[in-house]
Amino acid sequence: MITSHSYNRRGQVQLGETTAVIIIVIILLVIGIVFWSNVSKSNVTTIITQSQELSVIEIANIVPELTELKCYESGVNKVKCLDWYKVLAMNESINNKDDKSAFLFYNDYFKNSKITIVRIYPDVSENQNITIYDAKLDNTAKKLLISIPVNIKDYVSQKTYYGTIIVEGYYNG
């Protein structure tokens, strides 16, 4: 009788232990899954942000290489050099309020961005910023600003300016 009673009690204790172990394992699994899903979510967000940043960088790489803006000397193009009068002409055609065809054409290249050419040195007394393209997005979108140093050639005065191309890329982060 005593032996049978002892076996019964031991069986109950072992059943309790097994149940406790199963509950602990389930809790650990649930915590693990929740934790892992959070980590994965933050990784996906980072990847999306990075790819959007890369698309802004791509725009910043396109601008100084556009034939419509580059300097040519004796038929050979100069690296990292913009022709100031080409910049003025492009500004006029893209920002023409009566004819949006140029804006729509460059929209394929510049997407949701704002591109400004700034003349910095020499003769900096005048206001020499020209925004050649502006998608005019609202201020709620995130913004990535990239500045690229370039030469800006004025073929009339024969001066070479130092300036920057400022690309502000908007994206939803």
Query: Interface with another protein by CB under 8 A: which residues?
Result: 2-3, 6, 10, 13, 17, 21, 24, 28, 31-32, 35-36, 39, 42-43, 46, 50, 53-54, 56-57, 60, 79-81, 120-124, 144, 146-151, 159-162, 164
Nearer to another protein, 32 or 105 (CB): 32
Do 120 and 164 form a contact (C-beta atoms < 8 A)? yes
80 in the Ramachandran plot: left (φ > 0), alpha (ψ -120 to 50) or beta? Answer: left
Beta bridge partners of 149: 164
Q: In angstroms, what is the minimal distance from the CB of 90 to another protein? A: 20
Do 60 and 146 form a contact (C-beta atoms < 8 A)? yes
Q: In angstroms, what is the minimal distance from the CB of 92 to another protein? A: 25
Question: How far is 70 from 117, CA to CA, in rounded Å?
Answer: 13
Question: How far is 161 from 165, CA to CA, in rounded Å?
Answer: 13
Nearer to another protein, 17 or 92 (CB): 17
Nearer to another protein, 21 or 104 (CB): 21
Nearer to another protein, 43 or 172 (CB): 43
